């Protein structure tokens, strides 16, 4: 097993990689799973990081803030953002614009979390396309995941109306999203 126990200075939980030791060290990648300030987004980011660790990578899920390490320190980056009324958290926008050059040179992915995400896994809503044009970044992979409604953001009447449309998070789709990133990262590492 590779002796490294941290990703860019952040301790990660270790799990046995699926590969034998020599192969694991050659393709194991440091992956940042960055998320915006929302509990549903953090749960999805944690699940993605867990799945990437199960697949043999060193992955860390971090909340976006001013101390977030730059994208250049990682082999791949996943950005997760809650979307409220078509808007993304300022920290996520700032991270993408600050690290755009590094993001464009390595495997990357993006996921959004919204209580009104109703589209299939591989599609992103049109407001996401507008967001990508605004920050001048197009991720290699993008997905939208539904989340549970958060009561403090909605009035009682709106909660009742949206509850009929509410969809629980599709955890299988979250796992497939992580596996897709694993394939890209592994192919990139073996070509290098």
- The pTM score is 0.75
Say yes or no: domain 6-191 is CATH 3.40.50.12780. no
Rounded to the nearest angstrom, the gap between the alpha carbon of residue 141 and the centroid of all alpha carbons in its chain is: 10
β-pairing verdict for 6-7 and 141-146? unpaired
pLDDT tens over the chain, length 192 residues: 343 444 555 544 444 444 444 344 445 789 999 999 777 899 999 999 999 999 999 999 999 998 999 999 999 999 999 987 778 899 999 999 999 999 999 999 999 988 665 544 444 456 788 889 999 999 999 998 887 655 555 566 666 665 555 456 788 999 999 999 999 888 876 665
Q: Which tokens sit at 95?
A: 């991270």
**74, 87, 69, 177: which is closest to 135 by C-alpha?**
87
Strand ranges, E, within 51-133: 58-63, 76-82, 108-114
């Amino acid at each position: 097993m590779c002796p490294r126990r941290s990703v860019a200075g952040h301790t990660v939980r270790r799990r046995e990689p699926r590969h034998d030791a020599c192969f694991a060290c050659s393709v194991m990648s440091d992956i940042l799973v960055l998320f915006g300030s929302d509990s549903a987004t953090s749960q999805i980011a944690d699940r993605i990081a867990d799945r990437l660790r199960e697949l043999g990578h060193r992955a860390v899920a971090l909340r976006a803030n001013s101390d977030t390490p730059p994208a250049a320190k990682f082999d791949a980056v996943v950005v997760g953002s809650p979307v409220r009324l078509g808007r993304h958290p300022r920290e996520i926008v700032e991270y993408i614009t600050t690290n755009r050059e590094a993001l464009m040179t390595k495997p990357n992915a993006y996921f959004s979390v919204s209580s009104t995400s109703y589209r299939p896994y591989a599609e992103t809503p049109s407001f996401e396309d507008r967001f990508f044009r605004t920050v001048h970044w197009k991720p290699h992979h993008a997905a939208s995941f539904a989340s549970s409604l958060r009561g403090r953001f909605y009035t009682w009447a709106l909660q009742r109306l949206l509850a009929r449309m509410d969809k629980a998070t599709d955890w299988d789709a979250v796992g497939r999203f992580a596996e897709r990133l694993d394939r890209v990262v592994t192919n990139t590492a073996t070509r290098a």
